[in-house]
Chains A and B, each alone.
Chain A
Amino acid sequence: MKASFKKTLKQAATVALSAAMTLGLAGQAVAKEDPLKVAFVYVGPVSDAGWTFGHDEGRKEMIEKLEGKVETTFVESVAEGADAARVIRKLAQQGNDLIFTTSFGFMNPTLKVAKQFPKVKFHHATGYKRSDNVSTYAARFYEGRYVTGLIAGKMTKSNVIGYVGSFPIPEVVQGINAFTLGLKETNPDATVKVVWINSWYDPAKEREAAEALIAQGADIINQHTDSPAPVQAAQDKGVFAFGYDTDMAKFGPDAHLTGSLVHWGDYYADVAKSVLNDNWEANDTWGGINTGMVKMAPYNKAIPADVVALAEKARAGIASGDLVIFEGPIKAQDGSEKVADGVKLEDKDILSMNWYVQGVEGKLPTN
């Protein structure tokens, strides 16, 4: 008796609630079509102030640009193991038309789910596998990192730069190499020390790594991890740092020189528009400074004006295509010629980069 009463109550509550929601929404939705349902799967928390935060800012920007035409859902801190496929599938099953999976570890789960939901469009960030309904996208982070390298060469006194790396995958290695090429351009004596933490987001480890590098003489810290912990460590120890993903200046006002920022909002809005206009196609997007996907954070006042001018010139050169970062001659770590004079590395070679340029210390863990 009691149980059935409770059940009735619950049903009544559910009915009342859904009725209220329907009524409330019906008022707005009379003249419009159903909004496009877009979902995002994040590897970290939206509050990470880095990678995931950047994607979430992109999501918000997309909502703003396509006001009323999109409706979004996100799931944060999804583990890159067996759970990913369940979350992605659930989102597809719940009627999302477009799903962004924003970490490379979601690649195979995304493809598995995409096979079961051929009408849903998937976009996987930083991966290399595509299918009829799976696109991939990434940013040429390395372009911004080259610019930070130019600045680092001018700013370092100890000629040792510390680099907090996540995983030794091509995306990260490109960044280290581009940074080092920029560094060598302005300061041939400087070298780069890398510490791998094997995680995208682990503030404690990131900080530890940064502190270890500072203890080894680094007076500038660069990072390819997602939290501002390395910038904070640099601020506390009185050295400089470059942020990543988002403007991390507030975490180290004195330390933060600039950073290579990613800006996903335009891309997300364009993709959503193409779905709304029925001209979506699976493709691969690799945007850089020229498309506005990669930007530079505001320059710190500590950087002399001539160095800012140098950095801005390089940025403009990259945007116009006059400056090609991976253009020979490039020497490999051991001094041998890796890219001959005048040869430009093709995208496929950049995408599978697994070697260090000269000036990076230590051994790439995967070789």
Chain B
Amino acid sequence: MITLPFSLPQLERRQQDSNLFRYLSPVLAIALTLLSGALIFLWQGQDPVEGLYTFFILPINDSYGLAELCIKAAPMLLCATGLALCFRANIWNIGAEGQLLMGALFGSWAALQVMDNEGTWPLAVALFSGSVAGLLWAGIPAVLRNHFNTNEILTTIMLNYVALNLLLWAVHGPLKDPDGFNFPESALFEASVTLPVILEGTRLHIGALFALLAVSVVWVLLSRTFIGFQLKVIGMDASAGRFAGYKEKALVYFALLTCGTLAGLAGASEVTGPIGQLVPSVSPGYGYAAIIVAFLGRLHPVGIVLASLLMALVYMGGEMGQINLGLPLALGSLFQGMLLFYLLMSDVLISYRLVWKKRPQTNTQHSAVQEGV
């Protein structure tokens, strides 16, 4: 083991976590991110005020920008809402991405079958098919966990890749536009299977309202219903839940299937909304970004709404920085990374404090753990 010439600070458990800072820590993380961002702009020779303005204000300084923000946030919001439900119950669903892709795939498949019909029902069929596909896809890890004791982290991650490859196969094969010169794209969807725009002159579609509706329902579910209470209990202490007679397996099904439905709806809304056809790159990783959103939002519906808007803004800011200031694209990812880093750091410091002290000569239990790291 390497002995350092100086002593490293150690983490010491605080007597009590600060409830105030549990909610303030995202705010603190955002503030630190902005501050670091300003320093990076300075270092890059940019005016920090102009840099931050370009990154965080310019993308949304008109109604079109605001509409785009909501479009970008909607799929992350839907996924994060479902994920929050799972995470509250200690169900580590990393599979929102795959559930979203299956929603996009089967939503598109249904859309292509029924789009020659008039009326609103073809759209309903497409959205319903997408949601059901997401539900069934999430059902696989649920069955595996409940009946075979499989770790859902692994199964959901692996199913993401399966879903992506199914989508690629479909878009290169059966769903490919027959008049499309073999390009891996489906035919463009007709108006009958396109989500109606709710703000004239923008692309803001009704899917954004689905997301808000989903958040409200989950909020009520978590805070006002017995099933929400049960989910929280098994999340905090599964044995306590069992002792109280809660049906853990049923709760696992409930959380995963709900999440799958919402993610599937998000996927179907993307293809019938802003994209308007099935393409190989439906999602730039919304399902993964939603994990950050869920935690940034403290697994709380209101927090998740704000967090999804912020994540969307960071994506758009990255584009704006490139267009207006010629800044590298990586800066956008840097902001996302800093945000998560500062959040996790703040969270650790809520429960622990740093103590600079001389390394004790005789090993105590505590430092043994530290040195083990």
Contacts and interface: CB of A to CB of B under 8 A. Distances in A.
Q: Tell whether A and B belong to one assembly.
A: yes
Contacts of A292: none
B172 A168 contact: yes
Interface string B253-277: 0000000000000000010011111
B241 interface: no
A14 interface: yes
Given A73-B326, A167-B280, A351-B181, 10 more contacts: A13-B47, A73-B323, A75-B319, A81-B275, A81-B281, A86-B203, A90-B319, A94-B324, A168-B172, A352-B182
Contacts of A86: 68, 203, 316, 319
Nearest to B62: A93
A90 B202 CA distance: 12
Given A81-B284, A85-B274, A198-B280, A169 B182 contact: yes
A335 interface: no
Closest 6 pairs (CB-CB, A-B)? A82-B274, A79-B284, A354-B182, A81-B281, A80-B281, A75-B322
A352 B179 CA distance: 10
Interface residues of B, number: 40
A91 B323 contact: yes
A105 B281 contact: yes
B181 A170 contact: yes
A365 B172 contact: yes
B184 A167 contact: yes
Interface in A131-174: 167-170, 173
Contacts of A90: 319-320, 323
A361 to B, nearest CB: 19
A145 to B, nearest CB: 18
Nearest to B315: A83
Contact of A81 (B173, B283, B329): B283
B114 interface: no
A128 interface: yes
Interface in A49-99: 73-83, 85-87, 89-91, 93-94
Interface of B: 47, 49-50, 53, 64, 68, 71-72, 168, 172-173, 176, 181-185, 188, 203, 270, 273-277, 279-284, 315-316, 319-320, 322-324, 326, 329
Contact of A169 (B184, B273, B279): B184
Contact of B284 (A39, A83, A354, A365): A83
B274 to A, nearest CB: 4
21 contacts: A10-B49, A14-B53, A39-B323, A75-B319, A75-B323, A77-B329, A78-B319, A79-B281, A81-B282, A81-B284, A82-B275, A86-B203, A107-B183, A108-B276, A167-B172, A167-B280, A168-B182, A169-B182, A169-B183, A352-B182, A366-B173
Contact of B279 (A13, A89, A105): A105
Contact of A366 (B72, B172, B274, B280): B172
A45 interface: yes
B181 A128 contact: yes
B65 to A, nearest CB: 9
A17 interface: yes
B169 to A, nearest CB: 8
Contacts of B71: 82
Interface in A1-57: 10, 13-14, 17, 39, 45
A299 interface: no
Interface of A: 10, 13-14, 17, 39, 45, 73-83, 85-87, 89-91, 93-94, 104-105, 107-108, 112, 128, 167-170, 173, 198, 351-352, 354, 365-366
B104 to A, nearest CB: 10
Contacts of A107: 183
A296 to B, nearest CB: 27
Contact of A365 (B173, B277, B315, B324): B173
B42 to A, nearest CB: 13
Nearest to A90: B323
Contacts of A91: 323
A14 B47 CA distance: 9
Nearest to A10: B49
Nearest to B173: A366
Contacts of B168: 198
Contacts of B283: 81
A340 B188 CA distance: 36
B49 A81 contact: no
A109 to B, nearest CB: 9
A94 B322 CA distance: 13
A100 B300 CA distance: 43
B281 A170 contact: no
Contacts of B324: 94
A105 B282 CA distance: 11
A81 B279 contact: yes
A13 B168 CA distance: 50
Contacts of B270: 81-82
A174 to B, nearest CB: 11
Contacts of B182: 168-170, 173, 352, 354, 366
